[in-house]
Structure 1
């Protein structure tokens, strides 16, 4: 027992040492609550991360004080306070650059239909800890004395890198089904395994995730995708059936391997592409062109780039298999799924566009593209070009070293050509050589669909031929106009009796 105690003392000293920069403020706050007759403890993520040696951005505390008392005490301690959710017992405060969230002990109950708890405030720290999601988040440091509280063996689970619920897993997940997704997220963020009873409960209760709002599911999924290695968490999502509820397209990719193995396992391929794309991200504070990681758009595109394959798979008479237009189908499926998960419009648009473009490079062959084709590649990618570079390179998962090296060299060649053309022509700023006002004046038309078609035609000329000069652009515009039915209508109107003279 003495050995265990001494080991715990060492771990506690290390953890409190990592909390040293904020401990003076927290102990001061603990004394203020104590002098007012209330208990206060640092709880959950900050405690867990202190033991793991990770920096925690959130400072969550729990208290016996009710929200009104909490607000009064925080107002005296801090520079500002705000109501984070009084009905749930949470008040926020800031002191200098330190932000804390203090929540009254809870003893929630859930109705089993929605994820919203029926809030009941508690009076005991132990009751509060047992309602938390996992034992590693059910540890606390009482303030101001820094007494360590771990009634459910969270520290042992940290050492074993294991996710376990404080109470029966089926009860915990029944109370809050989102906790099952949180298990997947922690598997990716921390690299922890899920205890057998928790995994079994997740599998049996996966369907209950349907009662959780799409917004909350999206938040957990995004946190998983931004983890250092999302793959373990994604595998857990699929293997337990949770993905069948919130991301069935990824589960469906497992169905695309035929008995003769005439093509890659699309599911495993996609997970590999995701890991390779992550490896190509730039440092977090790097320049924009490096695609600083973690990059949600790139990662989502890497995971979803082949989701169109199951519905486009065809076997030909020669025993081969094809996935014609799976990139187009996949882009539409991506848009539909990300909208269902309530992602913002820009994210949906960007990820879907990358899925649509991910095969474009394979038309490059050994470098036969014309300059106009390269211009179109850059223009179609737009601001997504650097992400498309990385997605395309990550999509090479062949074990044939020569083939992999050949593809890499070919893409190196394309990137070099892009850089050369961008320097010479500023491809990011490609526009027709005549603007909308000039087009309207030359053709004698007002803004509208016809002028839009004329603009697009001149843009295509610019992409195909490069810079040809305003005079040549004007001549091409007039040639195009002569072939349009609207030009004939305009000419007939000019010749009609009583028409006003044209200048």
Structure 2
């Protein structure tokens, strides 16, 4: 990791840019978890940063979206994205959950935590960063349950309330995004508990339209016995 950071620090100094380590990468560093992918937010030109990094590490470069470029080296993923907003503080406050809204400034290695993410991480709490998060992106509802399943954290009460309110947003999620999150939930050791909570919060019936009819059919059969 030190070699990677040295290369990016070199880019920052020569291109007069700023790069922040963000998202789940910072969360996993603080939690002492193994890291297989790195997320960077770049102030000026994320694509130039990705190309520069790829050439230095001799990695594979691909443009993922209009605001994200990816470099893969020896199975490790490095994503470079455009800073959302004018400052890192605006960017972090518009991310989904506080535990994924921390950053490290690669210029001086300073730690930035505007939303109390480190405290929530220590308390194993999944808390939404702002109340409109699910309305802005319904897929974040599934991501909350995926984090619940994979990390073993609890979802705080206000976040569960917002999930219930915004559950109809699930119908707007592209199938591939929904499937990706669901597969990760099923692959986790906490799959049963997660699906039970999703059912309790009314999320399963929004995802699997056949769940409710099957549950009612099962109740009718039970009453007939």
Q: Does the TM-score normalized on the shorter chain lie above 0.5?
A: yes
Match of residue 61 from structure 2: 82
| 1:59 counterpart SS class | strand
Match of residue 186 from structure 2: 225
Match of residue 8 from structure 2: 29
CA deviations 1:20-77 (Å, max 9, x no partner) are: xx13322331332233111112111111112222212211111112244324422442
Shift of 1:139: 0.8
Q: 1:101 aligns with which of 72, 79, 88?
A: 79
Equivalent residues of 1:34, 1:40 under 8 A apart: no
What stretches of structure 1 move > 6 A for 4+ residues in a row?
none
Which structure has more relative contact order (CA 8 Å, sep 6+)? It is 2
Tell whether 2:118 aligns with 1:146. no
Looking at secondary structure, tell me which structure has more strand per residue. Answer: 2
Match of residue 128 from structure 1: 91
Find the aligned partners of 2:100 and 2:92 in 1 and give their Cα distance.
8
Equivalent residues of 2:43, 2:82 under 8 A apart: yes
Change over 3 Å in CA distance of 1:98–1:199 after alignment to 2: closer
Shift of 1:221: 0.7
Q: Which runs of 5+ in 1 are unaligned?
A: 1-21, 107-121, 256-308, 322-503
Equivalent residues of 1:71, 1:81 under 8 A apart: no
| 1:313 counterpart SS class | helix
Tell whether 2:69 aligns with 1:91. yes
Change over 3 Å in CA distance of 1:252–1:99 after alignment to 2: same
Q: 1:161 aligns with which of 124, 132, 144?
A: 124
Find the aligned partners of 1:38 and 1:128 in 2 and give their Cα distance.
16
Equivalent residues of 2:60, 2:73 under 8 A apart: no
Match of residue 41 from structure 2: 62
Find the aligned partners of 2:196 and 2:222 in 1 and give their Cα distance.
27
Change over 3 Å in CA distance of 1:250–1:54 after alignment to 2: farther
TM-score w.r.t. length of structure 1: 0.42
Match of residue 39 from structure 1: 18
Equivalent residues of 1:67, 1:86 under 8 A apart: no
Larger radius of gyration: 1
Count of residues paired in the alignment: 225
Change over 3 Å in CA distance of 1:188–1:68 after alignment to 2: closer
Looking at secondary structure, tell me which structure has more helix per residue. Answer: 1
Find the aligned partners of 1:63 and 1:252 in 2 and give their Cα distance.
48
Change over 3 Å in CA distance of 1:141–1:67 after alignment to 2: closer
Change over 3 Å in CA distance of 1:139–1:315 after alignment to 2: closer
Shift of 1:188: 0.9
Match of residue 313 from structure 1: 221
Could you say what the CA RMSD is over the residues aligned between the two structures, in angstroms?
A: 2.3
TM-score w.r.t. length of structure 2: 0.89
Q: Which runs of 5+ in 2 are unaligned?
A: none
